[in-house]
Structure 1
């Protein structure tokens, strides 16, 4: 897709409460915002960023607070308010939000807290604020992560490995059954985040809207995407959104776990393109 390279990328930092967000944008047209997963950064959207710009959209991606090149957490904050501040700064009154995992969780909260700012939602491997994690597999690896925090003897790398087991491999695969390239790429992103934002660990908590009981109030077109090999927590989130949000559509990818945009890139892109065509005006 070399034609996508003709779109110049604009990089900027956007001020938010007690910090700033690093942001990139490309293309012109209806705005689409890409929201990355937890422990990762905006580069997880490399396969979609330029491609969507080439289709005729203004594509915006940014590093959430405590991730990538954005500010380290220094106190309580709200991801949905950060996103609203970013849209206001970029003079984007309303956008399609495409989020994965934490990014989907933020997108849902934004649709509830700032409904005027959201025209449609693509929620991949979605998190939902207010819905507890119940999968024993996730609970086990989360407990292992907590146990190694602050261990100077390789604790950070073990923390990242448990992240990969949960959110790259998933509960149904061993690391050897997962694309080595994907695993190495996610390892590099997560490791860089752990190093860069270590001092923010425990420095503040995200304020959220408790979306679990408010999903039915979402009034925009919604597409839910998840992988068959993901945690039961994510499957149950996807089902809850699909049931509660009026006219929400749901598509599942058979050979993917959590990182559906990277493991099932072709089908994922096709689903997103079809949804955007049906919900945005490119004229």
Structure 2
């Protein structure tokens, strides 16, 4: 395994890479970090060049001090690593970044696996999500910021915290607390994005979408837009699972991931 930092516009991106073979890039959920991919990183390295990294304002990467673009950060990372074309595996924010990247540089994307995808241009309408966002705006401490994030993107609208695997929740609480403690100032800004919601038909590469059955209606809306408009999209729904599909159902997610990257060899 190798690790390092790549200079991007106004900051640096921390990354790790391992293995050899066709490239696969892992893009993590928002608020968390590349540590959510520990299992998949090890599995993929046996047959692929696998890359994972902390997005701007997350983990060990830089805090944004001005305008930034998550998909351009990804481009600069791949350029720095000498990777021209890759399979992108993204969850939530990571899927949002992957979609923007694929719309901007489609020739650089072999295929995509998108778990619980958000997308640029989406609107939050789910009453549960809207309520938690309001709680975040009123927060006066790190903990008051972290808990609504966990309620939205770990528990989801259909479960209480007690109904979620305590190890999954504890991991997300720890990573979320670390990210917010380190990068809260950068969250005041908004990244430059491409407005993907109405452009899904442009995603002509194979796209596999993984949806947790217990995710919010906002994510359901994005999934519907992708699977109806992207010409080569397929949907896999995992029962009794929320937004963080790879953390809650690692074995099932590994099966899906293996099928996707095997097709990309």
Q: TM-score, normalised by structure 2?
A: 0.98
2:202 aligned residue = 217
Is this contact kept in 1: 2:25–2:89, CA < 8 A?
yes
Is this contact kept in 2: 1:75–1:205, CA < 8 A?
no
Instruction: Give the drift of 1:198.
Output: 2.0
Identify unmatched segments of 5+ residues in structure 1: 1-8
Worse-superposed segment, 234-243 or 19-28: 234-243
Is this contact kept in 1: 2:118–2:219, CA < 8 A?
yes
The alignment partner of 2:2 has SS state of strand
Q: Is residue 29 of structure 2 the alignment partner of residue 34 of structure 1?
A: no
Instruction: Give the drift of 1:275.
Output: 1.7
- Out of 104, 109, 114, the residue aligned to residue 100 of structure 2 is 109
Is this contact kept in 1: 2:205–2:232, CA < 8 A?
no
- String of CA shifts for 1:67-97, please: whole Å, max 9, x gaps: 0000001111110111001000100000000
* 1:25-104 superposed matches below 5 A: 25-54=17-46, 56-104=47-95
Is this contact kept in 1: 2:31–2:175, CA < 8 A?
yes
Q: Is residue 163 of structure 2 the alignment partner of residue 177 of structure 1?
A: yes
User: C-alpha root-mean-square deviation of aligned residues, in Å?
Assistant: 0.8
Distance in 1, matches of 2:58 and 2:77, equals 15
Distance in 2, matches of 1:133 and 1:31, equals 33
- String of CA shifts for 1:72-124, please: whole Å, max 9, x gaps: 01111110111001000100000000000000000000000111221111110
Distance in 2, matches of 1:254 and 1:159, equals 28
1:161 aligned residue = 147
Distance in 2, matches of 1:249 and 1:52, equals 22
Moved over 6 A (4+): none
1:6 aligned residue = none
Instruction: Give the drift of 1:199.
Output: 2.5
Distance in 1, matches of 2:112 and 2:30, equals 18
Q: Is residue 16 of structure 2 the alignment partner of residue 24 of structure 1?
A: yes
Q: TM-score, normalised by structure 1?
A: 0.92
Distance in 2, matches of 1:249 and 1:188, equals 33
The alignment partner of 2:12 has SS state of strand
- Out of 123, 140, 151, the residue aligned to residue 131 of structure 2 is 140
Identify unmatched segments of 5+ residues in structure 2: none
- Equivalent residue pairs, number: 265
- String of CA shifts for 1:102-155, please: whole Å, max 9, x gaps: 00000000000111221111110000111211101000000100111xx2xxx2
Is this contact kept in 2: 1:66–1:72, CA < 8 A?
yes
Between structure 1 and structure 2, the one with the greater Rg is 1
- String of CA shifts for 1:20-54, please: whole Å, max 9, x gaps: 10000011000000000110000011121101112
Is this contact kept in 2: 1:255–1:264, CA < 8 A?
no
Distance in 2, matches of 1:143 and 1:66, equals 21
